[in-house]
A and B are shown apart, each in its own frame.
Chain A
């Protein structure tokens, strides 16, 4: 019985095909068919649109390897038919192809955009004369954000113009200082000024080092000048105070006493001398100078238009080791990195907020000098580097306040500075390398997704 049925079906099939082919020999093999002489006729192909039920392909990124699972054999049309064969139009043009054996669409996308890809396909029961079916979908290839960033120079005609980058190298005493400051991509894209600033000083008479970095608030109109005034004033006041008779000696003595005996009494005496005579005095003078500048304008503005953070540090070598003092308001970071003993000393606390982008500024005035302790100091035997950074660096390199205290992050930063980065940019921290500042400036160009703020770093090493 079963055999009979099969025969019947075969009959039906041949009966259907016969009128179309008009050859009568449908059971013959194709090779025999092709031998038959016949007038060549241009095949007419008709097309019809029929949607395929498929999940969207994941988005790609230009010049970045793309691979997506895709299997024509399992696809169904919206009417539920299976698909026998398919060709892709538009895939190769963007550097991709379909690999049926691997069941994948892959390649390296060559162009960004919302690409229209058309699948031309045939159903399982397709025969000559039936329409070829079409389905078009969108494949999104994202651009490389790096090429979207413009670099528009800041117009030199603006009020308080400053160059888009700056650097300095100071060869001095037992250690050298290098600093660099680079306008962030977000400012460069719009042709806006760098708001960060820094200052370095080594006093050959007293052997005191001073390093200052400041980050002008993005929301404040003249913050670039606020940051500059803060750095310059802080540096000058430290320099002046530390060379004054009666201050330098008292401070030196207090440091030596504290080193001998770190009693509360000695700590408080040292703190008071350092805080009132040098660090807080320098910071307060910086604040005053900003207020003066704001009021001296033809049309006076509020000092908050000059809003800036400030990290100020002084250091000096004694027979027993290095003394480092710091005063800090705002975000960013300062640490004494000691590679040999795998240690870092953070000289203060960053002023963070509950939300991203909230911090405290020097220009808040009195409250900043009252709200909490901002003067910190430390005596260490020696150190690899004293590093001051604005948040353009701490955000991408440390991410959180908690990480700022973690030695692993500092080790990574130090290796990064020494060339362990994707661009292979290395800062040569050997003694007397006058190129250190240029190298540091080049290092500041590092890529970090979404982190394009101004970046400033000052290092004593």
Chain B
């Protein structure tokens, strides 16, 4: 089997996402997957997992080959357990992503996209400590709207983007960029390159601002 590019989508489904934002996220995941299916690099290497978090985190879709992936439906309620999400994604990376040994052909380092619209309501630092133990190719944090704390996200990753509003057009633009980023990344890894810097990603659309 060829090396896989694992992609984790970690999505906030807390109560504040109710309504337009959550249905935009649902559509976003669907269009993301349809777009990636048209890309031969992604079609052959990308594996997707969806983790959602509200009062606790849950893996909605385990790491699945893009060709077999089916977008889940979401409901929004509860608080924002970002720490639990970080802990869960760390645990899943540990169990789902193969490391290279003499006997095993390892996967590419995973890509992690984290999207949240609010401030964490749990002890997120504990989750972050778990997350830091894992080898991740690139983590991209997205603050959806003005309610998210970009200072918290900056501690999770150097790469933080912010959406001015969490309306459907903006969320759609974000997912389009995620799709392009996964495409670029799956192309690069086939040439033997692991992405590490935001400059190696496609430029984000105007709705998606890089937080410096």
Contacts and interface: CB of A to CB of B under 8 A. Distances in A.
Contact of A357 (B40, B69, B108, B187): B108
Interface residues of A, number: 40
Contacts, number: 104
A453 B100 contact: no
B67 to A, nearest CB: 5
Nearest to A114: B34
Given A148-B40, A449-B2, A400 B103 contact: yes
Contact of B67 (A142, A184, A356): A142
Contacts of A354: 99-100, 106
Nearest to B106: A356
B26 to A, nearest CB: 13
B40 A355 contact: no
B44 interface: yes
B3 interface: yes
B100 A143 contact: no
A440 B210 CA distance: 49
B176 to A, nearest CB: 16
Nearest to A217: B192
A283 to B, nearest CB: 21
Nearest to B188: A218
A395 B189 CA distance: 13
B194 interface: yes
A9 interface: no
A356 B3 contact: yes
B68 interface: yes
A172 interface: no
Given A148-B39, A356-B3, A449-B2, A186 B102 contact: no
B191 A450 contact: no
B92 interface: no
B193 A143 contact: no
B38 A143 contact: yes
B154 interface: no
Contacts of B189: 356-357
B106 A355 contact: yes
Interface string B122-162: 00000000000001000000000000000000000000000
Interface in B23-51: 30, 34, 37-41, 43-45
B115 to A, nearest CB: 23
Interface string A148-163: 1100000000000000
Contacts of B3: 356, 395, 450
B102 A148 contact: no
Contact of A356 (B39, B43, B105): B105
A352 interface: yes
B172 interface: no
B44 A449 contact: yes
A361 to B, nearest CB: 11
Contacts of A114: 30, 34
Contacts of B99: 354-355
B121 interface: no
A342 interface: no
B195 to A, nearest CB: 10
B104 interface: yes
Contacts of B105: 356, 395, 399-400
A453 B2 contact: no
Interface in B87-123: 99-109
Among the interface residues A185, A219, A396, A450, which one has the most CB atoms of the partner chain B within 10 A? A450
B99 to A, nearest CB: 7
Interface stretch (A16-24, A35-43, A53-61, A102-110): A53-61
Given A56-B70, A61-B67, A450 B100 contact: no
A401 interface: yes
B28 to A, nearest CB: 15
Contacts of B70: 56, 59, 140
Given A399-B105, A449-B44, A450-B44, A218 B2 contact: no
Contacts of B34: 114
A189 interface: yes
Given A187-B191, A354-B106, A355-B109, 9 more contacts: A56-B70, A145-B44, A185-B40, A186-B190, A356-B108, A356-B194, A357-B192, A357-B194, A449-B1
14 contacts: A140-B70, A145-B44, A148-B38, A148-B40, A187-B191, A219-B193, A353-B100, A354-B100, A355-B106, A355-B194, A396-B2, A400-B104, A401-B102, A449-B44
Nearest 6 pairs of A and B residues by beta carbon: A450-B2, A218-B191, A148-B40, A186-B190, A218-B192, A450-B44
